[in-house]
């Protein structure tokens, strides 16, 4: 049995013993009704944030007793200067300068009425001979009120308006040069005005002149010795002058560009630039003037008929030839106030650019000389105020304003008398132009404001 069993065991294939399975009751874990697996909770691992180290500021060195005293003295000195400025700002205005301005303005209104009533009667809609005079008188009253108001304001406040006024003037000059601009007014081929119909118009170049004066005075008064360098004393101001004068010249308005360049150069010269740059600028200005007068077609005919207006006195040389006839007919004593014959539509622009010719005809050489002496007295008094100004900023302001008046007067009289080529430039306080008169009187208010704070003098 044993052998049989052993052979049978050999014949059967070898089988792996089956693993013993646990009963189902033993495989399953007993469910515990009372103990439940806790719900998974998200664990937030904090990112390591470096602690902020307190900024260690360098400890100030304790002031010594002498330094503390010096700072206290400087603070007291500054307070005393401010208090002195407030006191001086309430001082009296320069009476001679104010009287000269009012006298020139009054004579200008009378001469405007005398020179303009024929053209106002024939050229206005309602045939009103006092049309130009009434409008000018209204602006004169507004200008005098503005002059007295500005004269009471401390001129140092203009420092804060320097950049804003400059940016506004440049924007207006660009605005008037935009082609197809409905607000731009074109007269005789020149687009120099911004206006709304016949109600109101003004020249942006008038604002640009005053903006240049205020900005240059403010900037130059802060630099002092830096004005001798090219980087700080020449480059920024020359660039600004070229941009502003270039925008005025493309209107075209050659006389306005000359005034802007001239007043800017005068302020730079007084500000302390090197004289070598002055002579170089004069040469460059002469070259630009030659180009503008003899090369550009707009001005070439003016030069030709300026040298010989009688060559074509019926067309190109008509205005200058009539001006010379008007001046010559006045003689020594003139034909009398209001008795001019050339103003009856013979002389163009008799109430504007060529009003000085009517003065010569009606008041004669003596009357015209008296008016020129009044202008000379006003200009000299302005420079006298500039010499006695309280600070550098005030001195530069008065020099700029007075130089504008001096250049404009000289250019206008030079054009009327044939000394200079014909350009559209008005005579201050006399020529028709409401906004121009108001701005000129406002400029006189700036001079009066500076005169309130003049240094005390023994005589003058």
Q: What is the pLDDT of residues 37-84, one digit of tens each?
A: 555 555 555 555 556 656 556 666 676 778 788 888 888 887 776 676
Please report which confidence band the pLDDT of residue 9 belongs to, taking 50, 70 and 90 as the band edges: very low
Residue 27 pLDDT exceeds 60: no
Cβ pair 448, 91 in contact under 8 A = no
Please report which confidence band the pLDDT of residue 217 belongs to, taking 50, 70 and 90 as the band edges: very high
What pLDDT is recorded for position 127? 85
For residues 172 and 225, which has the higher predicted lDDT (pLDDT)?
172
- Type and span of the H or E element at 192: strand 190-196
Closest CA to 256 of 302, 306, 209: 209
Residue 295 pLDDT exceeds 50: yes
CA distance 428 to 44: 83
DSSP annotation string for 19-84: PPPPPHHHHSPPP-SS--PPPP-PPP----PPPPPPP-PPPPPPPPHHHHHHHHHHHHHHHHHHHH
What pLDDT is recorded for position 194? 86
Task: Work out the percent of the chain whose per-residue pLDDT is above 70.
Answer: 80
Please report which confidence band the pLDDT of residue 98 belongs to, taking 50, 70 and 90 as the band edges: very high
Mean pLDDT of the chain: 82
Residue 16 pLDDT exceeds 60: no
What pLDDT is recorded for position 39? 54
Query: Per DSSP, what are the bridge partners of residue 196?
Result: 200
What pLDDT is recorded for position 84? 66
What pLDDT is recorded for position 88? 63
The model carries a pTM of 0.78
End-to-end alpha-carbon separation of the chain, Å?
Answer: 161
The 10s digit of each residue's pLDDT in 307-344 is: 778 877 777 788 889 999 999 999 999 999 999 999 99
What pLDDT is recorded for position 386? 95
Please report which confidence band the pLDDT of residue 252 belongs to, taking 50, 70 and 90 as the band edges: confident
For residues 85 and 150, which has the higher predicted lDDT (pLDDT)?
150
* Other beta carbons within 10 Å of 296: 12
What pLDDT is recorded for position 48? 58
What pLDDT is recorded for position 299? 57
Residue 345 pLDDT exceeds 50: yes
The 10s digit of each residue's pLDDT in 101-157 is: 999 999 999 999 999 999 999 888 888 899 999 999 999 999 999 999 999 998 988
For residues 416 and 233, which has the higher predicted lDDT (pLDDT)?
416
């920024």: which residue's tokens? 236
When mean pLDDT is compared across 16-30, 196-210, 388-402, the lowest value belongs to: 16-30
What pLDDT is recorded for position 85? 64
What pLDDT is recorded for position 8? 47
Residue 87 pLDDT exceeds 90: no
């Amino acid at each position: 049995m044993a052998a049989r069993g052993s052979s049978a065991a050999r014949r059967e294939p070898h089988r792996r013993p089956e693993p013993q399975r646990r009963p189902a009751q033993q495989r399953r874990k007993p469910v515990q009704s009372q103990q439940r697996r806790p719900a998974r909770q998200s664990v937030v691992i904090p990112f390591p944030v470096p602690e902020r180290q307190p900024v260690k500021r360098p400890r100030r060195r304790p002031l010594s007793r002498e330094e503390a005293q010096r700072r206290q003295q400087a603070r007291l000195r500054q307070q005393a200067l401010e208090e002195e400025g407030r006191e001086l700002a309430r001082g009296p205005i320069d009476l001679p300068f104010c009287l000269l301005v009012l006298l020139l303005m009054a004579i200008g209104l009378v001469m405007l009425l005398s020179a303009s009533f024929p053209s106002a009667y024939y050229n206005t809609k309602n045939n009103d001979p006092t049309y130009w005079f009434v409008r000018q008188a209204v602006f004169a009253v507004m200008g005098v009120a503005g002059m007295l108001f500005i004269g009471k304001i401390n001129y140092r406040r203009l420092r804060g308006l320097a950049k804003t006024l400059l940016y506004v003037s440049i924007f207006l000059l660009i605005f008037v040069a935009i082609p197809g601009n409905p607000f731009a007014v074109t007269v005789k081929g020149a687009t120099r005005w911004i206006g709304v119909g016949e109600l109101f118009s003004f020249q942006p170049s008038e604002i640009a002149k005053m903006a240049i004066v205020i900005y240059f005075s403010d900037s130059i008064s802060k630099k002092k010795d830096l004005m001798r360098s090219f980087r700080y004393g020449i480059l920024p101001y020359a660039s600004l002058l070229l941009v502003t004068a270039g925008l005025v010249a493309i209107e075209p308005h050659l006389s306005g560009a000359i005034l802007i360049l001239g007043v800017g150069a005068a302020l730079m010269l007084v500000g302390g630039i090197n004289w070598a740059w002055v002579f170089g600028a004069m040469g460059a200005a002469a070259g630009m003037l030659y180009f503008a007068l003899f090369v550009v077609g707009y001005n070439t005919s003016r030069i030709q008929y300026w040298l010989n207006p009688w060559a074509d006195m019926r067309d190109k040389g008509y205005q200058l030839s009539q001006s010379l006839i008007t001046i010559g007919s006045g003689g020594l004593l003139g034909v009398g106030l209001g008795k001019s014959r050339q103003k009856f539509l013979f002389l163009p622009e008799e109430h504007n650019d060529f009003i000085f010719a009517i003065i010569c005809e009606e008041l004669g050489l003596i009357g015209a000389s008296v008016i020129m002496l009044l202008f000379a007295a006003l200009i000299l008094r302005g420079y006298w105020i500039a010499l006695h100004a309280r600070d550098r900023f005030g001195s530069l302001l008065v020099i700029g304003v007075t130089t504008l008046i001096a250049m404009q007067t000289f250019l206008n009289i030079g054009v009327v008398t044939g000394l200079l080529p014909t350009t559209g430039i008005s005579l201050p306080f006399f020529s028709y132009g409401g906004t121009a008169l108001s701005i000129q009187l406002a400029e006189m208010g700036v001079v009066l404001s500076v005169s309130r704070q003049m240094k005390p003098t023994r005589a003058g």
